Structure 1
């Protein structure tokens, strides 16, 4: 099986439960404050590893208790973390997460050591990339590094997945070397605004790829996930569960999606189904990394996706190909 490489963020999450999320200028009372390992890059790497993929991670933590705990979690997931920088000058990145009684969240991120990652660190971490491998990226590390990593991996035949989160403020050059863009409803709207293309998420998953370049998978919570194959909309319904905490659900989806595509690059709908059920398990738990299930925990029957053509031709080369 191909290797999943991840370049991205590692944070310690401070989780606070609230009855309702605060509006602008509002103070709300919280309870059950706790710390747990997270960061979109780390979450997605753990998800891919727990899905059964061989995972190599490039990132940075501080030389502190939080950083050491994160490294323990990566090790427990059997992730190759030899290229995780341990900074002696910056603390481990921090995310403050408020979660309400419905499981919805608001997140504030302070990058800390994530901001110290360099192009040289990325080059070292991606030195072993070869054709057919998968690279997973997000936007919690500096954008120039994201572009650099995508260009480097794709030039060697790897398949590049970008989870455009947090939503970018500009897209100049960001998507040039991206094969598959994974976004939620808010992120696809942000990209649509930058591209000047109106529509809802179902429409945009069809109209944005010709303008932006990469194929798109859009996750939409209870509405499931969407992509386009051979010009037709594909919808994978969400699994129905009682959600406790949606933190990390999107990252679980991305990691499982990447692992599935590393195993079978020709079946995107099957990868989306697998990722959907992993996310459904994750939202029934609290926390980010801790909530991500191992593959043996996913026993629910798969939903029936609306798929116009379930067979995606095998790529002509060793690189993965997801058609628009």
Structure 2
């Protein structure tokens, strides 16, 4: 496993660069608005996590696993010819897999399930996770299909275009032992699901979510693939999850492509959240749901007037809504690639919930983890670099590292655990 002290040190350095005064795993001290007190339904779900004992893992992730080929260009536009900047990079990825990687680096006991090919790409996908400390026992391998791949085109602003070649990910349902998946999911505090391209994999996730409901907290990153199906077609899955992480445009797609559109009263994030929760009421959903809405970076954070994270909580109505205001106007931070930014946000939010943090602190953690991931090209590169040996971080002396470690250990609600050994 990587050195957690080094990662914490680099995150602390990053926190100072964006002019944040405190640090509770990225305690970005923004001014929040929308609610004045802790959302009861949010605390209810957090308390459910805290009450779950005797579990094999803190987080169990079921995800597609892909090799990301990332190419940088000047802009993404139809009928626009451009030159690729530098050499394309080849990085291990997959939405849930990226979250699992970061969670493990933060000291969270994490396991994954998925499918990889018996090829060079499959070896890279598995070794990356294992080196971070992720349990890969349920990573199934086969030779009759290649490992999944994505081609990601990133323009200078950070905007992306992603093309997916699922490969063996579409065979996960046939390769896996559902009994083993169910047992592992039932023995995890949080089961995190991310999208697959295949219909059979969605059905597997629907069945699993229904069977572990009440035993484990279930979170979902639907991505563009699931979101474009709309809420009605995803009802079998949505009704059994406790948390949903998605981008604003994906929220719009979920609502606009479903009967929830009839409840829409405006065009803002809050309006779409209200429509979603009213739709839940119509479908007679009875359990609380937390929806974390991520907004895309503009590439540099030079104009951070757009709210990056909003959170809605409720059952059949939007009971609580929270969003951060803009950052300080003098913050300047290059963010060349937003690949994996949303996955890092998921990791930050979940690790906050595992440590019984407030909703505000969970948003803080998600924001900093996400923005830090975007400082390098590739979903995991910033964390890979930051989690090397502490001696390799020339910006931190041994004394500084010791002071940071002490700060973590005395913080009552610390969100990153540092190994003293």
Asked whether the 8 Å contact 1:225–1:238 carries over to 2, the reply is: no
Asked whether the 8 Å contact 1:278–1:292 carries over to 2, the reply is: no
Alignment of 1:227-306 (within 5 A): 227-229=311-313, 231-237=319-325, 241-264=333-356, 267-292=358-383
Counterpart position of 1:321: none
Alignment of 1:13-162 (within 5 A): 13-23=68-78, 25-31=79-85, 32-118=87-173, 120-130=176-186, 133-141=189-197, 142-155=201-214, 157-162=215-220
Q: Do structure 1's residue 205 and structure 2's residue 273 form an aligned pair?
A: yes
Asked whether the 8 Å contact 1:205–1:218 carries over to 2, the reply is: no
Asked whether the 8 Å contact 2:248–2:293 carries over to 1, the reply is: yes
Give the TM-score of the pair, scaled to structure 1.
0.83
1:236 Cα deviation from its structure 2 partner: 3.1
1:237 Cα deviation from its structure 2 partner: 4.7
The separation in 2 between residues aligned to 1:206 and 1:81, in whole angstroms, is 39
1:263 Cα deviation from its structure 2 partner: 2.7
The separation in 1 between residues aligned to 2:355 and 2:208, in whole angstroms, is 22
The separation in 1 between residues aligned to 2:190 and 2:290, in whole angstroms, is 15
The separation in 2 between residues aligned to 1:153 and 1:275, in whole angstroms, is 25
* Stretch moving more, 33-42 or 115-124: 115-124
1:150 Cα deviation from its structure 2 partner: 1.6
1:22 Cα deviation from its structure 2 partner: 2.9
Asked whether the 8 Å contact 2:290–2:313 carries over to 1, the reply is: no
Larger Rg: 2
Asked whether the 8 Å contact 2:60–2:188 carries over to 1, the reply is: no
Asked whether the 8 Å contact 1:238–1:276 carries over to 2, the reply is: no
SS of the aligned residue for 2:361 comes to helix
Structure 1 runs of 4+ aligned residues shifted over 6 Å read 293-297
The separation in 2 between residues aligned to 1:290 and 1:228, in whole angstroms, is 31
**Inter-CA distance 132–57: structure 2 relative to 1 (3 Å threshold):** closer
Counterpart position of 1:313: none
Give the TM-score of the pair, scaled to structure 2.
0.65
1:30 Cα deviation from its structure 2 partner: 2.0
The separation in 2 between residues aligned to 1:38 and 1:111, in whole angstroms, is 12
**Inter-CA distance 238–16: structure 2 relative to 1 (3 Å threshold):** farther
> Which has the larger helix fraction?
2
1:51 Cα deviation from its structure 2 partner: 2.6
**Inter-CA distance 154–27: structure 2 relative to 1 (3 Å threshold):** farther
Give the unaligned 5+ runs of structure 1: 298-324
Over the aligned positions, Cα root-mean-square deviation in angstroms equals 2.5
SS of the aligned residue for 1:286 comes to coil
Asked whether the 8 Å contact 2:119–2:147 carries over to 1, the reply is: yes
Q: Do structure 1's residue 225 and structure 2's residue 309 form an aligned pair?
A: yes
The separation in 2 between residues aligned to 1:44 and 1:145, in whole angstroms, is 20
Give the unaligned 5+ runs of structure 2: 1-49, 51-56, 297-303, 394-421
Aligned residues: 295
Asked whether the 8 Å contact 1:4–1:55 carries over to 2, the reply is: yes
Cα deviation code 1:221-267 (max 9, x no counterpart): 35221113572321135765321100000011112222222232x63
SS of the aligned residue for 2:336 comes to coil
SS of the aligned residue for 2:237 comes to coil
Cα deviation code 1:276-321 (max 9, x no counterpart): 1111111111101223476899xxxxxxxxxxxxxxxxxxxxxxxx
